[in-house]
Amino acid sequence: MKLSNKIILSILCVFSVSNFGFKASDKNIYHKDWIDFNKNGIKDVFEDPKAPLESRVKNLISLMNVNEKTCQLTTLYGYSRVLEDELPTEGWKNRVWKDGIANIDEHLNTIWNQEKTHTKYAFPYSTHAETINIVQKWFVEETRLGIPVDFTNEGVHGLCHEKATPLPAPIGIGSTWNKELVYKAGTIVGREAKALGYTNVYAPILDVASDQRWGRVLECYGEEPFHISEMGKQMVLGIQSEGVASTLKHFAVYSVPKGARDGDARTDPHVAPREMFQLYLYPFKKVIKEAAPMGVMSSYNDYDGVPVTASHYFLTELLREQFGFNGYVVSDSEAVEYVSEKHHVAKDYKEAVRQVIEAGLNVRTTFRTPESFIEPLRELIKDGEISMKTIDSRVADVLRVKFRLGLFDSPYVENPEEADKLVHTPEDEAFSKQINRESLVLLKNENNLLPLDVNKIDNILVTGPLAAEVSFTYSRYGPAFNPSVSVYQGIKKYAGNKVNVSFEKGCDIVDPDWPGSEIIQTPLSAKEQADIDAAVEKAKQSDIIIAVVGEDEKRVGETKSRTSLGLPGRQFQLVQALYATGKPVVLVMINGQPLTINWENKFLPAILEAWFPSTAAGEVIAETLFGDYNPGGKLSVTFPKTVGQIPLNFPFKPGSQAGQPGAGPNGYGNTRVLGPLYPFGYGLSYTTFEYSDLEVTPKSLKPQADVQVTFKVKNTGKRAGDEVVQMYIKDKISSVTTYESILRGFDRIHLKPNETKTIKFTLHPEDLEILDINMNWTVEPGDFEVLIGSSSEDIKLKDGFKVEAIGN
């Protein structure tokens, strides 16, 4: 453990100021190979870096009193949320955290649209690292046992810190289908967190987004459990490769509120047990077993009438005993409070505290004071309603992570000045643009309208309410204050002096009556009609119209579920008016969830799905529209034609998406719109690909054997491009109804014109498992089909194999 001269000087300067209320310790607790955290002059077992982990944990718990133990079971939210101070003050000696704290969340990170969080200590990066060291030093030197703090922060859009490296929304990351890219994103988030003093990142989100109306679809990787698992695993491995904990969100069955009713209305997700395990728990189980994340966030919904955060079954039996999780569990905001206040399964808040601790929760995390949790918890212990054995077990989980993070060996950022070289480097910025490029999905390209030739166009109109907007490039859960480029700016800069690029907004994102206007239409106001007319007049003078439409950060997100999935406000009327000019319209979609763009898909020649890109939005979209980049992303969610089809997701059960008989018994004609607008795994390219030579070996095997699958893919077009190859498995006969097919392999490959690559996948026994009729995970004997394709519907190659019963 060592501190730079700069940080030592900074700490001493701060500690010498009387109004901070403390001074540097009289004793030198810092020794060559250890730190005397409890300041007794003896190297205790917990202070010995060479001692076994469990011995250190056990020793430290034996030295802790009740106050110190309870302080390790709650979060102190950082500056301007709960903590009023940027730096330690005299008053801290009178607050509950004088006995320590489990973690401090989002301290001095800066949230882009919350001015109260803006602080001079966030940037430059080295300043933040130094400041975190000062806070950490207070806990190490000014509390009796000196237990270090785990500094947590959000990280699903990139690290939630001023000017950190921005990432697109997770739904865009999911659309890359690029595992190597996601691992690299994780390493960047982890490296930046470590350099800035954060030791735990709340990412990735492993929720299965199965209701397209749900506001948090944009924060999920997609709707298919295997795809989510593979992307999430790489994010965890990347983050934790940098010595920082990854905390999974949100456990469990969180992403299917009934009727997409979010927020205060959230309750039972109405998911059957087998579906829960095969879909909603699958990503958590797989990522925990294969990537060993150190954290899990428990969700604030219930399941079958039992709040998850108060469920021993979910937090202990499933999470720890079955899945093997050995980190610590934090609660999502208000999850504990909802046990009594919303779910009403506890007579009061104190009883709710007892239930969650007994269930297996380690740390209460919400925007309330730590005292609000610790005081009732101490009363419960005093009254004998919670045993010290239970408390010790919960505390041990927290301490174990802190030891694994090295906080008891090196509690400080060792070289704060290095943060300026480690956070948002030029290489990181280049990566940010690349992951944004790979998140783009080409949905339609009639007659190869795209890419546009800048040398053959004189006038372009860029229009739409999101054309000159950049707010969607920032996120509550991502970096703040990075310079951002709008789509209009990006196109104008790309075109330079070769093309006249004009702009007309056309309409606002929503009308004044929205969302009510989605069910009771109102006439256009005079201003709305004039705005559309102005865009039409400019469109008539243009060769190409690029309409940038969709949603912004006020229309999607937590507690922002939608009733309709059409373009909000007057955007549809704008698009129709632009189409009526007879000029080709390229639709660029900025949105956080699948939209029911049926008319647009039928009549407009080109559609590019951009999701919620980050700050390079305008640059990467312009590069793609003009052909410098060939889009290769694929949809990780199904686009329905109407909300009346929901639920409509991959994978499907047999017959669940069947048509209707037009004749014969009970056949009296069709009454429903059937099929997706765009299926799971769909996406176009500026080039074409050919699949061939599928080989599946062996053809016959026992249940615990692997299956090798190989095939070839060739770029048969004239441009280099990416293809996402997808492998699906169909279990033909089983003891229970299984899905029509399930995803069990994918890879994103880059091919030059006429280049051929051989793709290899390995199917392991767990890839063939189902929950059998007795709810046991089993590889059942029988015939399996291997389906290789470019989407879940565009299957190019088929073959099969047979699993033989043991003993045959």
Whether 706 is catalytic is no
d(CA 40, CA 146): 11
The strand pairing partners of 328, in sequence order, are: 295
3-class DSSP assignment, residue 676:
coil
Catalytic hit among 332, 428, 731, 767: 332
Rounded to the nearest angstrom, the gap between the alpha carbon of residue 515 and the centroid of all alpha carbons in its chain is 27
- Alpha-carbon torsion, ordered 71, 77, 82, 88, to 10 deg: 70
- DSSP 8-state symbol, 563: S
Q: How would you classify the pairing of strands 295-298 and 245-251?
A: parallel
The residue behind tokens 């088929």 is 798
Token couple for 745: 């392999």
Q: Is 800 in contact with 786 (CB distance < 8 Å)?
A: yes
Which run of H or E residues covers position 357?
helix 349-359
Omega of the bond leading into 252 within 30 degrees of 0 (cis): yes
Omega of the bond leading into 515 within 30 degrees of 0 (cis): yes
Q: Is 57 in contact with 396 (CB distance < 8 Å)?
A: yes
Q: Is the dihedral of CA 553, 554, 559, 563 positive or negative?
A: negative
Q: How would you classify the pairing of strands 777-778 and 707-715?
A: unpaired
CA angle at 195 for the pair 189 and 197, rounded to the nearest 5°: 100
Omega of the bond leading into 651 within 30 degrees of 0 (cis): yes
Say which residues have a Cβ less than 8 Å from residue 230's Cβ, sequence separation at least 6: 179, 746
Say which residues have a Cβ less than 8 Å from residue 73's Cβ, sequence separation at least 6: 102, 357, 362, 363, 364, 373, 374, 377, 391, 394, 395, 398
Token couple for 648: 């409509």
Judge residue 653's burial from the number of C-beta atoms within 10 Å of its C-beta, 0-12 exposed, 13-18 middle, 19 or more buried.
exposed
Judge residue 659's burial from the number of C-beta atoms within 10 Å of its C-beta, 0-12 exposed, 13-18 middle, 19 or more buried.
exposed
Q: Is 786 in contact with 743 (CB distance < 8 Å)?
A: no
Which amino acid, 374? I
Q: Is 225 in contact with 206 (CB distance < 8 Å)?
A: no
Which amino acid, 194? K
d(CA 237, CA 630): 29
Rounded to the nearest angstrom, the gap between the alpha carbon of residue 58 and the centroid of all alpha carbons in its chain is 35
Which bin fits 550, alpha (ψ -120 to 50), beta or left (φ > 0)?
A: left
Q: Which has the closest alpha carbon to 180: 708, 746, 729?
A: 746
d(CA 607, CA 619): 17
Q: Is 162 in contact with 129 (CB distance < 8 Å)?
A: no
Say which residues have a Cβ less than 8 Å from residue 523's Cβ, sequence separation at least 6: none
Q: How would you classify the pairing of strands 795-803 and 782-789?
A: antiparallel
Token couple for 340: 């009594």
d(CA 715, CA 362): 52
Q: Which has the closest alpha carbon to 593: 643, 631, 546, 630?
A: 643
Which amino acid, 7? I
d(CA 442, CA 609): 6
Q: Is 582 in contact with 544 (CB distance < 8 Å)?
A: no
Q: Is 700 in contact with 760 (CB distance < 8 Å)?
A: no
Residues designated as active site: 332
